[in-house]
Amino acid sequence: MAACATTPRDGGRPAETVYRNIDVLRGRPAREVDVSMKAWSRALGVGCEHCHVKGQWHLGDKPPYATARSMFRMVEDLNAGGLAGTGGVACWTCHAGRTKPSRLPQPALTVERGRWPAALAQASDRVKLAMSVYDVTLGVGCEHCHTLGDWHSDAKPAFRMVSRMTALFDVFPKYMPSEARTQCWMCHKGSTAPKRAP
């Protein structure tokens, strides 16, 4: 892919007829290459040379080059599959200007676990942890997903959304390095609606 290059005059031609080594942007207009590269650079807070060899933009020698392709495919798969109809995600959603997405803040989780309702004291530690993670991740309380007093009710859309979102964890390993660990926090960062752009 050609990064940090100016968009060619005939930016409507397919990208692969204008640039060398086009893969994930194959079939798209050439003008989208530069737009995509700028968006990815902004999302990761890096310059072109993070993924590319300066002056030989088409080379895929650097590991981040292959990772970028894989992450692009993952975003496309998520948005067309499990996230269809939700507004989807973008590279910015998880990365927010960093090469590595932020992680769930442990102090916030500790505070939230201390707020566990006394009426549900008999719940397992696994359930307490999961519910506390959801609360901190989305910036909500129990009543966001649950009907108070009828904790198993699926009347609220947010309750039903949980199984849809947890199914995404089966998709991530197909695209991410084996050592990568994903969390709900990486997309949500304390908000019910993940951001797609700054």
My answer on whether 107 and 184 are in the same domain is yes
Q: How many Cβ atoms sit within 10 Å of the Cβ of residue 185? A: 21
Closest to 52 (Cα-Cα) out of 153, 41, 88, 117: 41
Buried b (16+ CB within 10 A) or exposed e, 133-142: bbbbbbebeb
Domain of residue 137: give its range. Answer: 95-188
Say if 82 falls within a structural domain.
Answer: no
> How many domains does the chain divide into?
2
Say if 136 falls within a structural domain.
Answer: yes
Say if 69 falls within a structural domain.
Answer: no
Contact 96, 195 (CB under 8 A): yes
pTM > 0.85: yes or no: yes
Cα 107–chain centre separation: 23
My answer on whether 183 and 101 are in the same domain is yes
What secondary structure, in 3-state letters, does 146-159 show? CECCECCCCCCHHH
Instruction: Report residue 169 as tokens.
Output: 């964890």
Closest to 81 (Cα-Cα) out of 195, 175, 188: 175
Say if 85 falls within a structural domain.
Answer: no
pLDDT at 3: 44
Give backbone dihedrals phi and psi of 107, rounded to 5 degrees, phi first.
Answer: -60, -40
Rounded Cα distance, 98 and 12, in Å: 31
My answer on whether 178 and 104 are in the same domain is yes
Q: What is the pLDDT along the chain (198 residues), one digit of tens a residue?
A: 444 555 566 668 999 999 999 999 999 999 999 999 999 999 999 999 999 999 999 999 999 999 999 999 999 999 999 999 999 999 999 999 999 999 999 999 999 999 998 988 999 999 999 999 999 999 999 999 999 889 999 999 999 999 999 999 999 999 998 888 999 999 999 999 999 999
Say if 19 falls within a structural domain.
Answer: yes
Instruction: Report residue 68 as tokens.
Output: 């970028």
Instruction: Report residue 47 as tokens.
Output: 């310059």
pLDDT at 1: 40
Say if 120 falls within a structural domain.
Answer: yes
pLDDT at 5: 54
